[in-house]
Structure 1
Amino acid sequence: MNTPRRVLRALIVEDSEVDAELLLYELSRRGFEVTYERVETAHAMQAALESRAWDIVLSDFSLPTFDAFRALEVLKASGLDIPFIVVSGTIGEETAADALVAGAGDFIVKGRLARLVPAIERELREAKVRATLSRTEEQLLHAQKMEAVGRLAGGVAHDINNVLSVILIGAELVSGALSPDDPILEDVEDIRTAGLRATALTRQLLAFSRQQVMEIRVVDLNEVVTGVESMLRRMIGEDIELTTRCGENIGKVEVDPGQIEQVLMNLAVNARDAMPRGGRLTIETRRVTLDEDRASSLVEVKPGEYVVLSVCDDGTGMDRATQARIFEPFFTTKEQGRGTGLGLSTVFGIVRQSGGHIFVHSEVGVGSTFDVYFPHTERANVTPVLRTQPVGTLQGSETVLLVEDDEAVRTLVRVVLRKQGYEVLEARAGEDALRLCQEHPSEIHLLLTDVVMPRMGGEEIAKALRQVRPSMKVLFMSGYTKSAVVQDGATDVPVAFLQKPITPEVLLRKVRAVLDDSSRPSLAALVG
């Protein structure tokens, strides 16, 4: 059985054609199939480095117009990390040492070429290690940057959601106070509509920062793909050919199917925009096993079984600079007004919050492929989601303890609740809430508290009040998402949650639903 020949792309810096042939003979004799170019000048070497990729540079020490030291300078100036070996006649040990200090990987005497192949093999191995380390470091730095940007985006979304709550609640209160024929109503409706549009943007920021509300299920990705296929065809238009290739026996993953549909739609829209003159879009699923070597080349990915969702287009493609930024919020290559720059950042956030990883491979003029890796699961089911009971009336007479550090939000929530008959006790911090619970002479039916506040957060307040009012129910609200309560371990029981920004109707319906739903636990059920 013949051993496969190893391909080697060698740039030979040599003025003697005979000596170059001797190098090629030695390499061929030792199992290499060599693609090469011979150059004799610094200019020719620079042009060769720019024209194609090379595995190794083999350079004579002294040429008529330049030498190995100058050749090393040309290589360094190119910015390429290519192993460099000097192959020359006999020279002094001091000169050979200087060449090694200057960056040469080895020095081979032309009359002793037996050392050539071992030296090349060693240099290629070391170059591969350097490339892997460099790529890993680059990916790690990028991951750290995305993590930092995600935290910033989540914090910004939280603050904006508080402001939007004031805008939306205020707009509806003003609207309710005006007569139906008041011309100001149209202006108020414009304010409300703008607030709702801004709300949609903050939802995408929360998705990017991995703080989206998710309902995890054990699902087959093939079912998700086939379920949205017809909708995707309508979205991308008739000039783009859509092909789906669902792998057999790919197994299950634990994700929110609705969020994965969002991932598919966003990636499809991104592909459509990259193919303004039409093209092909391919969506594929497959199951893969990542061993230690393969997993180590992908930052933060552990070895194991994965289900891969691939979205591939033959559009305009992206250069490396664009690829490095595509998942950043508000980054876009589209014309102003044609996109928010949140589509791919939303995809990134959903995938990472789902425990997955996303990688992009792209080439200008060829197209792009997004590979999404989800860990395979053997689980058969997950905990079902509590269903909210239908709400009849929005009014009530119960007592609500409202804890909110934002004065504007607290004031408007109090106004909305009192207008519907509720008695409202206000607290701006946990200490105030504890004092009110101890001093109030009658029952307090509901704790309505923000989650993220200075000194004492909502979950800490709930646990502190458990000793005083164990039968009181709790409704958390936040400009972040439910994950701030559930995923961070604040409680192991189902909790009621109200996502900011809120409108009066949403607030009243949620309050009424929690009070009327006997399946909702009281503070006594909280753990920790």
Structure 2
Amino acid sequence: MTPLVCAHVMPPSHSLNASTLSFLLGGGEMGELFRSHPWEQTPLGTPDTWPQSLRTSLGFVLNSTLLGAVLWGPELLLLYNDAYREMLGDRHPEALGKPVADVWGETYAPIADDFARVMTTGKGFGSREIQLPMTRWGLRQTTYWNATASPIFGEDGSILGILNVAIETSEQVVANHARDERQKLLNRKNLSLAQAVDARTVERDKAIAEKLIAARDAERVQLALAAGAIVGTWSWDLTQDCFTIDEGFSESFGLENLNRLTDIPLAGIVANVHPNDLDGLTTAIKHAIIRGGAYAHQYRVRRQDGDYHWVEANGRVEHDADGTPLRFPGVILDLDEKRQLLAQRDQAIEELRALNAALEQRIEERTRELMQSEEALRQSQKMEAVGHLTGGLAHDFNNLLAGISGALDLISLRIEQGRIENLGKYVSTAQDAADRAAALTHRLLAFARRQTLLPVATDVNRLVLDMLDMIQRTVGPGIRVENVGAAGLWTVLVDRSQLENTLLNLCINARDAMPGGGRLTVETCNRWIDREMGKELSIPEGQYLSMCVSDNGSGMSPEVVAKAFDPFFTTKPLGAGTGLGLSMIYGFAKQSGGHVRIYSEVGEGTTVCIYLPRHSGTAVDHDDSAEALRLVPTDAGETVMIVDDEPSIRMLFADILQEMGYHVIQAADSLTGLSILQSDVRLDLLISDVGLPGGMNGRQMADAARTTRPDLKVLFVTGFAENAMLNEGHLEPGMAVLTKPFNIGILTERVRDLIAL
């Protein structure tokens, strides 16, 4: 699949007299570029000197909606339309008028001989699936094309160039490959089911096969019926009422006692016809004689042995010119064998109906078995994912808790020993482990798309530039870091810290894919996502910013790419990574209204692009400086109310706020908190958890309190992504949110800022 790339527009340059360019009318952006291009500075010269064959071909290409180009002259200079321009990527506009081999390099090599053959023989070629390696916007990939190349003949009959029209089928080829892989998987499942069928099913299959053979025999019966079986002939002279018959007719009608085969009247012929069939036969004969033409009738006749058998008489009545009946010749068909065959056919049809019913029942049974098998497989995959999730969490958190618990144990021991001079390193160890645990929970919440985001209008180019030094230090001197920032890049509304984590994770993954060194590129770009691409990405069509991280490392196979976003999936050695990096990035992108995609080929490298919706606001300045914890006391007598169901959190918050000089009121649930809020006690700030017992959540409690205290300042704290409870993050003036865990210094700063509002 062709990745999304940035588009460049060639600025207007030297203009020519429009009257000389009438054959260049229309053509979209490329038509405008052709009309303003300084052709007098190129080997082609000005358009008024171009031959008519070039003008005609180029006029066709420019106004075609298909991807097309004219390759002109011995060097095959490239002249192309809007659709071709999009395919060129960052090769445009420098490619215009340049030799096609210089423009495409290795991409042109597989078809160079075919194009040269067109120029020498004048015979065009077409191919439904050309495979070409292609690098566009720094991304190397394998592409597939339906293409034609036709010679352009000059006025003197010489071959002057090639008309090249193509359609890219990369997405279709990749989709077909994925479909074939799914079909192979389904076939393997069906094979497994078939092998599990017991011996009784095998016997049923054998019986079904016999029925099918019988059904095929019924088809042969039908052919035999069509052929018929003639057993005798007759000729009836209607003017004299005289029959002439052969021996077969005589035997079939039981007339062997007659000693002649001619001059037999009708009464003698029908003497042995079954009494029940005689009237019908007489009527049929009369009608045939009156109207003339074809005649056919079935009835029973008694043979010499006294048994009746079915025959069919087929004949034709011949009239004179005045309409007088003259002759009535015909043949006799023995219907006994035919009726037996009909009975066999009817039996075979009935058995086939029964067979179809049995097959339908078996198909339903097999379908149910397959659905049950697939459901069991899905459940197994779910349990496997849960196993990976819980196992990975247990492993990582046990390591972090061991660091925290061990540091606290040593702090307690040193205090008992009175050795407090080196407590700082144990405090730092515990704090570092706690920070890493917080980062792990943020990754999990990002994967689940449940983290609480604090989006701000962000200049992504500025963010990338601020991080380049850190990225270079992280990846090491063996990797060259390049930044390609698009001019006029749009602003996005995004959680800045999460986007920084995303970029750093992508760069670390790229570093790990290049153990021997290489090139890492961070590129930003503005993109328009149309409806079709938006449907594929599960995002609305519109304007998006893309941030791509590319490397020229080991790359990934399609199987690895398909699992890359799964939680705890990693190709790194045990202990070298949690496997949450890409899943966190995917969750963050989706929660931010965007998407993330991977383009990779084994041995060629990988590009990961995150797409974020454009924001119409202006980016805000960001200060990365961090202040140390400072407790600034207050003497204004402000009152802060803390509502949280966790006693340890209430205790910590109360201690630090009381040390700052605030009066603190505590409540353990929303019901108690609301009763205090609805009283006349002084309250300058409410600090509340979002998820609370007592019948309402923190947001509901705060909204209820603001009916009587409209100016109440509120600081929400949460350890979970309760955006739904926070009205999807839409906070009213005087409200703020903090995500647990957080630095105490941040808490005190937010308290001071909110009270000061």
1:353 aligned to 565, 570, 591, which one?
Answer: 591
Distance 2:488 2:742 in 1: 43
**Shift of the alpha carbon at 1:198?**
1.6
Corresponding position of 1:301:
539
Distance 1:490 1:337 in 2: 40
Structure 2 unaligned spans of 5+: 1-56, 68-122, 131-172, 177-182, 190-214, 217-377
Q: What is the TM-score of this pair, normalised by structure 2? A: 0.42
Corresponding position of 1:99:
none
Q: Secondary structure at the match of 1:324?
A: helix
2:697 aligned to 453, 457, 479, which one?
Answer: 457
Q: Structure 1's 337 and 478: CA in aligned 2 closer, same or farther, altered over 3 A?
A: same
Corresponding position of 1:408:
648
Structure 1 unaligned spans of 5+: 6-28, 37-52, 57-72, 80-93, 96-140, 520-528
Corresponding position of 2:576:
338
Corresponding position of 1:436:
676
Corresponding position of 2:135:
none
1:287 aligned to 512, 523, 526, which one?
Answer: 526
Distance 2:514 2:623 in 1: 43
Instruction: Answer yes or no: is the 8 Å Cα contact 1:402–1:426 preserved in 2.
Output: yes
Q: Does 1:424 align with 2:680?
A: no
2:618 aligned to 362, 381, 385, which one?
Answer: 381
Q: How many residue pairs get matched?
A: 382
Corresponding position of 2:713:
473
Corresponding position of 2:168:
none
Q: Structure 1's 188 and 251: CA in aligned 2 closer, same or farther, altered over 3 A?
A: closer
**Shift of the alpha carbon at 1:336?**
2.5
Q: Does 1:201 align with 2:295?
A: no
Q: What does the per-residue CA deviation read over 1:457-504, in whole Å, with 9 as the maximum and x for residues that have no partner?
A: 111111112234445432221113695676615533252333322455
Distance 1:477 1:283 in 2: 35
**Shift of the alpha carbon at 1:360?**
0.7
Q: Secondary structure at the match of 2:572?
A: coil
Instruction: Answer yes or no: is the 8 Å Cα contact 1:459–1:490 preserved in 2.
Output: no
Corresponding position of 2:303:
none
Distance 2:421 2:470 in 1: 40
Q: Which has the larger radius of gyration?
A: 2
Instruction: Answer yes or no: is the 8 Å Cα contact 2:550–2:607 preserved in 1.
Output: yes
Corresponding position of 1:317:
555
Distance 2:698 2:736 in 1: 12
Q: Secondary structure at the match of 2:714?
A: strand
Instruction: Answer yes or no: is the 8 Å Cα contact 1:356–1:374 preserved in 2.
Output: yes
Structure 1 counterpart of 2:523, one-letter code: E
Instruction: Answer yes or no: is the 8 Å Cα contact 1:215–1:385 preserved in 2.
Output: no
Q: Structure 1's 271 and 475: CA in aligned 2 closer, same or farther, altered over 3 A?
A: same
Corresponding position of 1:239:
478
**Shift of the alpha carbon at 1:433?**
1.2
Q: Does 1:33 align with 2:127?
A: yes
Distance 1:229 1:416 in 2: 38
Q: Secondary structure at the match of 2:544?
A: strand
Corresponding position of 1:327:
565
Distance 2:572 2:710 in 1: 55
Q: Structure 1's 320 and 212: CA in aligned 2 closer, same or farther, altered over 3 A?
A: farther
Q: Does 1:371 align with 2:646?
A: no
Q: What does the per-residue CA deviation read over 1:347-381, in whole Å, with 9 as the maximum and x for residues that have no partner?
A: 2233333322111122333321112223345x252
Structure 2 counterpart of 1:326, one-letter code: A
Corresponding position of 1:138:
none
**Shift of the alpha carbon at 1:402?**
1.7
Distance 2:187 2:724 in 1: 50
**Shift of the alpha carbon at 1:309?**
2.3
Q: Secondary structure at the match of 2:642?
A: strand
Q: Structure 1's 273 and 217: CA in aligned 2 closer, same or farther, altered over 3 A?
A: same
Task: Give aligned-pair identity as a percent.
Answer: 34
**Shift of the alpha carbon at 1:456?**
1.1
Distance 1:374 1:268 in 2: 18
Instruction: Answer yes or no: is the 8 Å Cα contact 2:537–2:595 preserved in 1.
Output: no
**Shift of the alpha carbon at 1:76?**
8.1
Instruction: Answer yes or no: is the 8 Å Cα contact 1:214–1:259 preserved in 2.
Output: no
Structure 2 counterpart of 1:405, one-letter code: D
Distance 1:510 1:255 in 2: 21
**Shift of the alpha carbon at 1:432?**
0.9
Q: Which has the higher contact order (CA 8 A, sep 6+)?
A: 1
Q: Structure 1's 497 and 386: CA in aligned 2 closer, same or farther, altered over 3 A?
A: farther
**Shift of the alpha carbon at 1:421?**
4.7
**Shift of the alpha carbon at 1:333?**
2.0
Deviating more after overlay: 423-432 vs 256-265: 256-265
Q: Structure 1's 385 and 453: CA in aligned 2 closer, same or farther, altered over 3 A?
A: farther
CA RMSD of aligned residues (A): 4.9
